[in-house]
Amino acid sequence: MSLIGTLIGYVLTVFLLLLLARMVLDWADILGKLPPLALRARSAVHAATEPVIAPVRRLLPPIRFGNSAIDLAFTVVFIAVLILRAIAFRL
């Protein structure tokens, strides 16, 4: 296992945790009112993850189902990070 592969793997792990935090905070915001601290955390997580998700969202817009939508870009980025992380740790 190389040092560069390990470092990339850890960076991808942190990004994966940010994606998970984004998912949880978005669902919490949908289900009820978030306290101010959680809203600031949500904004910070969105600022960190949106530069990666936005280009994918331009290619795969959300699928609408009435008043709700499924964000395929988030799902694609999440799966891609899982795959890249597994590859990086095997380098």
Task: Work out the percent of the chain whose per-residue pLDDT is above 70.
Answer: 99
Determine the residue type at 50. Answer: E
Across 35-57, average pLDDT: 94
pLDDT digits (tens, 9 = 90+) for 3-30: 899 999 999 999 999 999 999 999 888 8
Euclidean distance between CA atoms 2 and 88, whole angstroms: 9
The confidence score (pLDDT) of residue 1 equals: 64
The confidence score (pLDDT) of residue 76 equals: 95
Q: Which residue blocks in the chain are alpha helix, DSSP H?
A: 3-31, 36-59, 72-90
Across 43-62, average pLDDT: 95
Judged against a pLDDT cut of 70, whether residue 37 lies above it is answered with: yes
